[in-house]
Amino acid sequence: MIQFPICPVCDEPVADQPATHWTNAYRGGIPWWHLADNSPICAAADGQHSQPDLVADPLPVDSQTNTWLDDMSRLFAVDGPYDPARLGSAITAAEHLSRWLHTATGPFSALLTLPAPSDVASLIGHLHRSTRLLARVHAQTGSYLLDQDRQAHLASLDDSEGRSEVIDAVDDIRAWLQDAANSLAQSAQASGMAWSSARKVTAASNPAPPAPPAAPNGQEASGDES
């Protein structure tokens, strides 16, 4: 089941970086930031910044997919192998699931797959997290992988016009990917605010049950008399 961090004080979703760093490597400092307004996580009772609570996403999971989900968790564990073949498998799986998601949220099927405000909020949360991830992937690909490729493969070329053209092309690719990353980070920030509001709509649509009335004369409100 998907879990996401929320502020234990205000119940708002938080991220482990401020929005301005969503395309950068992780840095020190305040580790958690509200998605709604990009402010630091609320202070705890001792005045220090709180640690987030992990909350399970309420979107139901089809029991017929449990085995498949367990297999995917093992195959794509964070401490698993990092190689082109495994990355290719992850990309292929993501492509197929994206097509299903596209169809399942279409005008003829959305009422079946998103019948409640909580379901819509879960989808928005997924869109936010995916967009934030894509922003980082674009930036890291441009700043690291292409830079490594440039150092490894262009060092053997002589100072010819061809080498200069290749270097210019690599620089252009890095710039384009960074532009894409910046745009994605802005989209993620907007979807994060939408997710925060959608969770509030969900809470308003499902109010907490009223507290039982207090018993007269200080007696207990529940329990059988004998």
- Residue 117, pLDDT above cutoff 60: yes
Average pLDDT over residues 147-153: 67
Q: What's the mean per-residue pLDDT of the chain?
A: 86
Is 6:51 a contact under the CB 8 Å cutoff?
no
Average pLDDT over residues 22-39: 85
Average pLDDT over residues 45-65: 90
Q: Which stretch of 34-48, 54-68, 206-220 has the lowest confidence by average pLDDT?
A: 206-220
Per-residue confidence band for 202, with pLDDT thresholds at 50, 70 and 90: very high
Is 139:181 a contact under the CB 8 Å cutoff?
yes
**pTM of the shown model:** 0.84
Among 5, 118, 117, which Cα is nearest to 59's?
118
Q: What is the pLDDT of residue 170?
A: 82
Q: What is the pLDDT of residue 224?
A: 46
- Residue 164, pLDDT above cutoff 60: yes
Among 129, 164, 97, which Cα is nearest to 16's?
129
- Residue 208, pLDDT above cutoff 80: no
- Residue 36, pLDDT above cutoff 90: yes
Q: What is the pLDDT of residue 226?
A: 34
Token look-up 């401020």 returns 18
Phi, psi (rounded to 5 degrees) for 6: -130, 155
Average pLDDT over residues 155-176: 74
Average pLDDT over residues 126-153: 85
Q: Which of helix, strand or coil describes residue 169?
A: helix
Distance CA 31, CA 33 (A): 7
Q: What is the pLDDT of residue 156?
A: 60
Distance CA 45, CA 42 (A): 10
For the stretch 56-100, pLDDT in tens is 998 888 899 999 999 999 999 989 999 999 999 999 999 999 999
